[in-house]
Amino acid sequence: MTGKEAKEMFGRNVFVTYNLQIPVVLAYIVGLTESIILQRLYGWIITDSGKVFEGKRYIYHSYKSWKRQFPWWSLNTIIRAISSLEEQGILRSKQFNEENGDLTKWYTIDYARLNYVVFNSDKWNDKESNWALQFSALDIEEEPHDTSETHSFIKEESKNLNPQEKIKKVKHRIPSDLEPFVDYWKEKELPIPKNTTKSFKTTINNLRKLKSGTLYNEMSVSLNGDFEEYKDIEFTIADFQNSVDNFYTALINPLFEPLNKEYLGKQNLNSFILNPFARQKISASLFLHYLENPPKLNRPSAEDKFPELTTAIIETYKAELLGGADVEIPFFDTQKFIQAAILLEDFILRNKDKINPEFIKSPKRKAELLCHAIKEDVKNEFEIKPGFFCSAITWSRRLPGYLFKEGGIEKKAPPIVNLSEPVRKKHVDTKA
């Protein structure tokens, strides 16, 4: 479309063309780029686009199709914004048919998590958020006749409100009987909300209820009554210390479950005691879980039978998928690469008569072969994770398919026989 054609379609005023209305509060708390993506996705969801999975409406868009929606952004900007929303738990993404090789990502919005992130943000206590508190109390005409009067009205209201100064001075006090709880949490250098935030006030209230035995009375109604047995139970400082010790061990020690520590690392004192947005009993109260369940040892670490190959796979992963960054690979990801090395050697052993020796002449060459097979199948390299290297799909389809395509494996398959039809005997001409 040319500029002239666009002018004929939309008229002289560009403001009447298609536009997105972004809530200012959302842009301020979550980010402008992220808010635009959320608003676009929200528009599709409420118009019944996409498909319904597990009772929720999901929308499919590849990164390239997002780029077509927002041509002024680079592809990296879009990827970073979507990754940010996923990390915050606001944007939920799933692959519903990965076992069949379909890596399509579908997206939906977690509205409960979105509200929690927005209204529990520390940004409400920043000076920059003063505008939100001021203008929420104003009722200004769209086109005031006397601008000087309006300006003086805004100035006076701002002076009267002066909300940020009051908020800055309010520091929620820790009652003396609850100080041992907070101090023990701080001794472990675990995160705690700032004492000027609503989240900190909620933390103190929940600690008070925990000590008095009323915290789980309301929770027993939800989550299928899982908290019924904890009604009216008063928990002591000894109970709290025991639970925190178990939680801390599970968090910092790779020998104990869970293997992936990322979720535990995001918890502060408030969410440790009670998470009202959780869908499972464990995450609804990590305090109760670790009070009753000491951390369990992980499954024994996989034996690194092929250390040279494992190292080569890790180095290839860094070079080709992390831009050569010198980073420390987490324990649980290292286990996946160890497993990948074992599976690769097993694959080579079972197909050694078919594979071209040039493709497997060194550990580095083997690692590159595996990495290239995954990259060839998963077009978006940003989606490739360590788990892909030991995925069943990689060994059943990606690697053999890539080898055959690149001429690295000879196809020696018997002719297909249709067992549903009777075998026809070869006709012999007896007259000859």
Q: How confident is the model at residue 299 (pLDDT cuts 50, 70, 90)?
A: low
For residues 317 and 321, give the distance between their C-alpha atoms in angstroms, rounded to a whole number: 5
Q: Say how far apart CA 25 and CA 19 lie, in whole Å.
A: 18
- Determine phi and psi for 94, rounding to 5 degrees: -145, 150
Sign of CA dihedral 402, 406, 411, 416: positive
User: Mean pLDDT, to the nearest integer, of 52-71?
Assistant: 81
Residue 157 has pLDDT above 70, yes or no: no
Are 374 and 389 in contact by the 8 Å Cβ rule? The answer is yes
Question: Does the structure show a pLDDT above 60 at 300?
Answer: yes
- Class assignment of domain 3-120? mainly alpha
Taking the domains of the chain in order of start, what are their residue ranges?
3-120, 125-138+146-169, 179-292, 307-405
pLDDT, tens digit (0-9, with 9 covering 90-100), for 213-257: 888 876 654 554 567 788 888 999 999 999 999 999 888 887 778
pLDDT of 84 over the 60 cut: yes
- Main-chain phi, psi angles of 114, to 5 degrees: -60, -45
Q: What residues contact 157, with CB distance under 8 A and at least 6 apart? A: 134, 137, 138
Instruction: Give me the pLDDT at residue 19, please.
Output: 59
SS3 68: helix
What is the maximum span of the chain, computed from C-alpha positions, in angstroms? 118
- Whether pTM > 0.75 for this model: the answer is no
**Percent of the chain scored above 90 by pLDDT?**
17
pLDDT band at 364 (very low <50, low <70, confident <90, very high): very high
